[in-house]
Amino acid sequence: MRFEKADLSQRFFAALVDVFIAGLLGLVPLLGDLLAVVYMLTRDAIFYVVMTTGDWRGRSFGKRLMGLRVVRTGGGPVDLAVSVKRNLPLVVGSVILMVPLIGKFVGPLVALAFIALEIVAIVTDPRGRRIGDRLGDTTVVRAG
């Protein structure tokens, strides 16, 4: 199967939508930060699991809005485990942010470092794969 690589600007806007959703979840009293991290980790599979429709497979809300899909490079479904693997680098800073005292200073720096590394990986990889895509054996493509 041949797929068209997703455009960097499309990926950026899809990520913005998903970060906005995570931010809204973060407003929930007591559990908000945890809900936001869980959403960011499972975002590429959670709607498929909840809605049980193939149209949502490999698509977060942001990716669906931007016409993108996550696919496994070797075939197979993008399930919750794959989604967690590919999104792990993007939540490290958020998890550190939850650590009392030091987290508020170190978390944002770690998050920015990981985001910068991910952007460099997307731009330099011929298939547009970021570090998380390599961990999950995935790539982001235009939905056909």
From first to last of its 144 residues, the chain has per-residue pLDDT tens of: 567 888 899 999 999 999 999 999 999 998 999 999 999 999 999 887 777 667 778 889 999 999 999 999 988 888 999 999 999 999 999 999 999 999 999 999 999 999 999 999 999 999 999 999 999 999 999 987
pLDDT at 1: 53
pLDDT at 89: 96
pLDDT at 136: 95
HSE value, Cβ hemisphere, 13 Å, CA-based, for 132: 26
Structural contact between residues 57 and 77, judged by C-beta atoms closer than 8 angstroms: yes
Q: Which amino acid is at 41?
A: L
